[in-house]
Amino acid sequence: MEKMRDSIDFKNTDIKTLFRKLLLPTVLGMIFSALFVITDGIFVGKGIGSDALAAVNIVAPLWLFSTGIGLMFGVGASVVASIHLSHGKVKVARINITQSIVISSLLLMCTSALFCSFAPQVVKLLGGSERLTPLAVEYMLWFVPFSLFTALLNSGMFFLRLDGSPNFAMMCNVVAAVLNIILDYLFIFPFGWGMFGAAFASAIGTTVGALMIVFYLMRRRCALRLHPIKMSRRSMQLMRRNIGYMCRLGSSAFLCEVAIACMMFVGNQVFIHYLKEDGVAAFSIACYFFPIIFMVYNAIAQSAQPIISYNYGLNESLRVRRAYLLALKTAIGCGVCFALVTIFCSREIVAMFIDRSYPAYEIAAKGLPLYATGFVFFAINIVSIGYFQSVERAKYATFITLLRGFILLTACFFGLPLLLGNPGIWLATPLAELLTTLLIGIIYCFSKKKRPKKVLSLRHGKDDQEFLQEI
């Protein structure tokens, strides 16, 4: 941690220089995470067909659920552990991460068993038709049982970085993605294993990446390693409190994943109503393409976050504003590029996933340009949510996330097709993002006029002091 402070001076270094130092490694790490998802879509669509692509999209919210659980416990536990490390309480930090891994694994084991026991019912609840249900169930039964490794892979990234091993954290994602690509190809094409092969390849890739993290955390020479948990009544009470605290800290990360799951779920319902199974297959291409865009925007927001937070703590309002605007300009520039590429190369993008002979091809080729009109607004929203989090305005961030990801999105998905027909389905997400951007503009302008009351921070607040003492 001292090395990081020596090499990166958040107080005095030029904002543009700081931002460049943080942006590249963050983007690369997240792109590899996105590749894990995208390769599934390409190989499934090309090797099995459009129905298989639609079936995977039907059960995708379950994958996002496990990812969200991992991120929630990863963010929460890493924040708590970092506080204890700063106070020299290494043993307590080890206990914190161990508690998060154990509880998140138990939670996902229970939910996975429940989902698999009622697989057909779950698939139908997620919007699966009679035609898609068998394919979706087959994929689900081989992927969902490995959900705990998906969560561990996502949460473990935070623990490894906190221990001073960001390169190894990135390597875990790289190995998982590369292994998934290789096995996807082998299982789907030469072996001809269909949906089972696609699910099994993803499961193996995720498991290997997660086990790399486990082996790392079991090494005695690393500071932040796994620690035995006591089973006494007092220990269980403290663990219950710790877990609740971690969940509160990481809830925003979970909501972001749930919001994407909501978009997929509601979108699947609307597409299958208006355009049947071919519509769901077309929408799934947009959902597979979406992670790259989201990851880049999220990387920009995360790169700006330490700069904004550090200078906010120093009351350097000018540097805070410069960092936010720089992140915003970068995200908008990326949004414009993504939109133009999608609009002018929509047919080539769709052809990566399915053959031109499928009816879903034309639906997706015509719909993606409409969908891309929201990329710029989406960029503004993600960076702005990150800004509000960075300056201790979590209520704004949570409110905006709930509004754009659930309320506005659902209303637009169900309302816009009634006004515009089939194009309205593709324009629902862009309209929700546009309305959110307008709201953010209003909030930002009013918040500048009236400085909010100082919020008790995690590091310095009374609640945190009590928390540290009781542990």
Can you spell out the DSSP letters for 134-178? HHHHHHHHHHGGGHHHHHHHHHHHHHHHHTT-HHHHHHHHHHHHH
- Which pLDDT value is given to residue 309? 66
Radius of gyration, alpha carbons of the chain: 22
Query: What's the total number of domains in the chain?
Result: 1
C-beta of residue 154 within 8 angstroms of C-beta of residue 295: no
Nearest CA among 30, 5, 54 for reference residue 364: 54
Residue 7 placed within a domain: no
Nearest CA among 215, 197, 219, 196 for reference residue 207: 215
Residue 333 placed within a domain: yes
Residue 438 placed within a domain: yes
The encoded tokens of residue 53 equal 């692509």
- Which pLDDT value is given to residue 406? 87
Residue 366 placed within a domain: yes
Q: Provide the sign of the torsion angle of the four alpha carbons 19, 36, 110, 405, taken in this order.
A: positive
Which residues in 264-301 are b (16+ Cβ under 10 Å) and which e? bbbbbbbbbeebbbbbbbbbbbbbbbbbbbbbbbbbbb
Q: Which domain holds residue 34?
A: 14-470
- Which pLDDT value is given to residue 185? 92
- Which pLDDT value is given to residue 31? 76
- Which pLDDT value is given to residue 121? 93
Residue 2 placed within a domain: no
Vertex 318: Cα angle to 316 and 321 (nearest 5): 110
* Residue numbers in the chain where pLDDT is lower than 50: 1-8, 452-471
Residue with tokens 């969200």: 68
Residue 5 placed within a domain: no
Q: How many CB atoms lie within 10 A of CB 459?
A: 12
C-beta of residue 260 within 8 angstroms of C-beta of residue 64: yes
Q: Provide the sign of the torsion angle of the four alpha carbons 133, 138, 140, 145, taken in this order.
A: positive
Residue 68 placed within a domain: yes
- Which pLDDT value is given to residue 412? 94
Residue 1 placed within a domain: no
